[in-house]
Structure 1
Amino acid sequence: MSGQPTYLTVNGLRTHAWKRGRGAPLVIVPGLGCASWMYARLARELGRERTVFVYDPPGHGDSQGRPDFPVCIEHLTDHLSAWLRAAGLVGSPVFGHSLGGEVMFDLAARYPQLAPALIACAPTGIPENPSVRLQLLRLVRDLPRERLGLLLPGLRAYRQCGARRMLLLARDQEAHMTGPLLPRVKVPTLLIDGESDPVIQTWTVERICADIPEAVARQIPGAPHGLTDTHPRAVAQLTLEFLRQAGC
């Protein structure tokens, strides 16, 4: 991934983020098991107007983790909060993909002063999150719809994160009741839905949209779960237009 690697020690863990582009900052939070390098195509498009920081959560990508951290969504949220402060990015919009969207909702509800706007792309984040088994079945259905060029970077990211950590975080989705948190998200929020995404159903995005007071939803035709990689230009256009309208 082209750009500038940055490292900060946050709560004792060496934390990595890629930085590229120019303009006002925007932070990207990856999905479950994903890494910064999987968002290179999106960062390139967003970097035409924004300075993009593609953050690696602890235990993901090039960021350090511990066997006991992170193993739940609140761990991810607390670390993201501390990293935003350490990086001087308080007040920057946050873009979350898949589980990164759920982390972002948790951040906005529990740390409302940190982000003035949210972009949630194919987000998880309601009490009806499916079982781990059903999530895996949906991911298998989604694989043929993804870009072949993402396969090796994705496998590398999953290996780096490790099966144990991914399983614990996926299980926590079943217990992490973000539904009651969603009405506490009080900032402008864009929800981006992939029309051909078997992992996150359209009704899920509609439910999240209904629960967040300032949320709007947009759908990208033909896009799978990894729409940040297959449709980076469309995702970037929706994101940049939303941020301009929100004044962020």
Structure 2
Amino acid sequence: MKGTRVFCTVGGLRTHARRLGQGPPLVLVPGLGCAAWMYHRVGEELARERTVYLYDPPGHGLSEGRPEFPVCIEHLTDHLAAWLDAMNLRGAPVFGHSLGGEVMFDLAARYPGATCALIACAPTGIPENPSVRVQFLRLLLDLPRERLGLLLPGLRAYTRCGLRRMYRLARDQEAHMTGPLLGRVEVPTLLLDGLSDPVVRSWTIWQIHETIPHTVIRQLPGATHAMTDTFPRTVARFTLDFLNHRRL
């Protein structure tokens, strides 16, 4: 995998990110249980115009965690905000995939000034999944649609994160009422909607669009939940055009 490993200590935890490319910074926040190495395809496309930081949340990828941290979305958000400060990246645009999208919505709402723009790729963020069981079933529907080369890195990432942590974070999604927070997001936001994604449905994207002012939706026909891996060039092009148009 291209790029340079960057470590810093945040809240006593050694935190990892993979840095690629040159140019204005862009931070990528992964989904539930995922790790930086799962995003190298889109990272390399984005790095054609940006300095991209593929961030590992605590307890994910190569970042340290504790048994009781993180176990909720606010833990993830608080750590991300502190990491942005520690890395002198406060105010940089943030790209969030799946649960990473929900984390960055929380970040923009609770930490004004932490980011100047959001790119939400198949984001969670409203209580659309009534149970962890339903989320798991939707992921099972999605797996056969993903690129075979992603499955082994994904299994490695999930093993590193651990089923207990993943379960507790997924359970917290049911209690984490992002809805009221969405109305407090005031930065430009791009919503990427995969039209073949069984995990996050299009109606979810449109509901987020109605709640956050100044949002733009881009739809990707045939794109699955892991569109960062299956459609990396299209995802990167939509992202870069969005940021360049706003000179961010």
Relative to the length of structure 2, the TM-score reads 0.99
Which residue is equivalent to 2:125?
125
Counterpart check, 1:83 vs 2:83: yes
Distance in 1 (CA, whole Å) between partners of 2:170 and 2:237 is 30
* 2:54 counterpart letter in structure 1: V
Distance in 1 (CA, whole Å) between partners of 2:117 and 2:27 is 11
Which residue is equivalent to 1:147?
147
Structure 2, unpaired ranges of 5+? none
Deviations 1:136-159 (A, max 9, x none): 000000001100000100000000
1:127 deviates by: 2.8
Which residue is equivalent to 1:137?
137
* 2:139 counterpart letter in structure 1: L
Counterpart check, 1:22 vs 2:59: no
Whether the 8 Å CA contact 1:117–1:246 is kept in 2: the answer is no
* 1:26 counterpart letter in structure 2: L
Distance in 2 (CA, whole Å) between partners of 1:16 and 1:6 is 6
* 2:66 counterpart letter in structure 1: R
Counterpart check, 1:240 vs 2:240: yes
Which residue is equivalent to 2:200?
200
**1:95-106, aligned counterparts within 5 Å?**
95-106=95-106
Structure 2 SS opposite 1:184: coil
Q: CA RMSD in A?
A: 0.6
* 2:11 counterpart letter in structure 1: N
Structure 2 SS opposite 1:187: coil
Tell me the number of residue pairs that the alignment of Structure 1 and Structure 2 aligns. Answer: 248
Counterpart check, 1:213 vs 2:199: no
Deviations 1:38-81 (A, max 9, x none): 00000000000000000000000000000000000000000000
Whether the 8 Å CA contact 1:60–1:160 is kept in 2: the answer is yes
**1:154-193, aligned counterparts within 5 Å?**
154-193=154-193
Sequence identity percentage: 71
Which residue is equivalent to 2:114?
114
Deviations 1:100-146 (A, max 9, x none): 00000000000011100000000000133331000000000000110
Which residue is equivalent to 1:226?
226
Distance in 2 (CA, whole Å) between partners of 1:150 and 1:127 is 27
Which residue is equivalent to 1:71?
71
Distance in 2 (CA, whole Å) between partners of 1:241 and 1:208 is 21
Distance in 2 (CA, whole Å) between partners of 1:117 and 1:20 is 20
1:240 deviates by: 0.2
Structure 1, unpaired ranges of 5+? none
Distance in 2 (CA, whole Å) between partners of 1:78 and 1:128 is 24
1:9 deviates by: 0.3
Which residue is equivalent to 1:37?
37
Distance in 1 (CA, whole Å) between partners of 2:193 and 2:131 is 21
